[in-house]
Amino acid sequence: MYTTVPGSTEHSSPIRMWADPESVEPQALEQLRNVAALPWTRGVAVMPDVHLGIGATVGSVIAMEGAVSPAAVGVDIGCGMSAVKTTLSADQLPDDLGKLRTRIEQAIPVGRGVHHKGVRLEAVQEPGAKKPMRGWHDFWEGFDELEPSVTRGKRGRVSEQMGTLGGGNHFVEVNLDARGTVWLMLHSGSRGIGNQLAAHHIEVARTLPQNQDLRDPDLAVFLADTPQMAAYRRDLFWAQEYARRNRAVMLWLFSEVMRKEFPKIGFDKAISCHHNYVAEETYDGVDVLVTRKGAIRAAGGDLGIIPGSMGTGSYIVRGLGNDEAFNSASHGAGRRMSRTQARKQFTVEDLKQQTKGVECRKDPGVVDEIPGAYKDIRSVMAQQTDLVEIVAELKQVVCVKG
């Protein structure tokens, strides 16, 4: 159940929080109150993985009427998760998973890596799908309609990044559920192009008249029926589709690696969900733009994915359809400390201990992703039992990081 947190003014929209307000950083509470005080905001739902963000609080769901804040969406437009259950069981995996991890890393570029030879996109077929993925021609035609000052001369690079992981908290994993069934899972977004489009529109929004007296300039908005809003929506929805397709390509590449290693493997239908994005939805008869910044859609029956960290469990969930939360749930465990704090507090030896039993990087480059830098995923799940039900609990045995 949620707690209602008072806004900063008598005209503020309601802030409904699925977390203990005492556990939330004061700066994050201030961010939430600032967004609730905007005249276009119709409500804010706060997930149990809430923590301070740039622009808007991570783990927040913001419903606005006739407006959207590009900084609240963030720069990794369309970031999200994909997963698929296989027919493989734990006892069919090799004792030494290092070779499998290496082959995944060879198939899916990580960090700043790209597909220099490109990927045959017309052959991409998500695991469990009956036909190859369609619509590539129309999708790339859409690229030519994006903001030209951002995209000029970048078509090649954007194509090369399709089907790549990136860095930070993005990952590719082999997981086991409670029955020992193997699942494939990955986390990524819209790569460089999403970041660049977002940065452009965030700067445009800051210059507009309606945003000159905001408490927080990062909450600058575009208004409906303006050319700036039209341009942002065009680029935003294209970048969200790029992110969806990027994950689909990676999941296909991942499944092809597994087919070569385990020729008899089969796959269920893949699950995919954004957790940094905007959707057009209706609540109480009002059409709103819902920004989920670190939150997944969890309408009744929706399947979603809530990951922990590189050494803890993750969850496949089914939405319960809670309108008070704008049909949403958390996007993960949520950080409890910044990357800088994690690097200061933890060592490589700590990382080795906290990722014991997981075939993954154990070096200074990923110390900031150590499980101890994140909230306890079980506690996060316990705070949202009215938002989702657990379908499967997973634990990784292989984790590939950028």
Contacts of 251 (CB under 8 A, 6+ apart): 82, 84, 126, 127, 184, 186, 270
Ligand-binding site membership of 187 (annotated): yes
Encode pLDDT of 23-81 as tens digits.
999 999 999 999 999 999 999 999 999 999 987 899 999 999 999 999 999 999 999 99
Residue 217 tokens, joined: 């300039």
Task: Record the tokens describing residue 335, joined without a space.
Answer: 């950080």
Q: Is 61 annotated as a binding residue?
A: no
333 is in an annotated binding site: yes
State pLDDT tens for residues 291-329: 999 999 999 999 999 999 999 999 999 999 999 999 999
Residue 13 near residue 24, CB atoms below 8 Å: no
Phi, psi of 139 (to 5 degrees): -60, -50
Q: Are 320 and 361 in contact (CB under 8 A)?
A: no
Residue 338, CA atoms < 13 Å, CB-side half-sphere: 7
pLDDT at 7 over 90: no
Task: Answer yes or no: is 109 a known binding residue.
Answer: no
In this prediction the pTM is 0.96
170 belongs to an annotated ligand binding site: yes
Say whether 331 is catalytic. yes
What percent of the chain clears pLDDT 70, i.e. is strictly above it? Answer: 100
Q: Does domain 75-273+298-336+374-401 have CATH number 3.90.1860.10?
A: yes
Please state the domain extents for the chain. Answer: 75-273+298-336+374-401
Of 51, 201, 274, 331, which one is the catalytic site residue?
Answer: 331
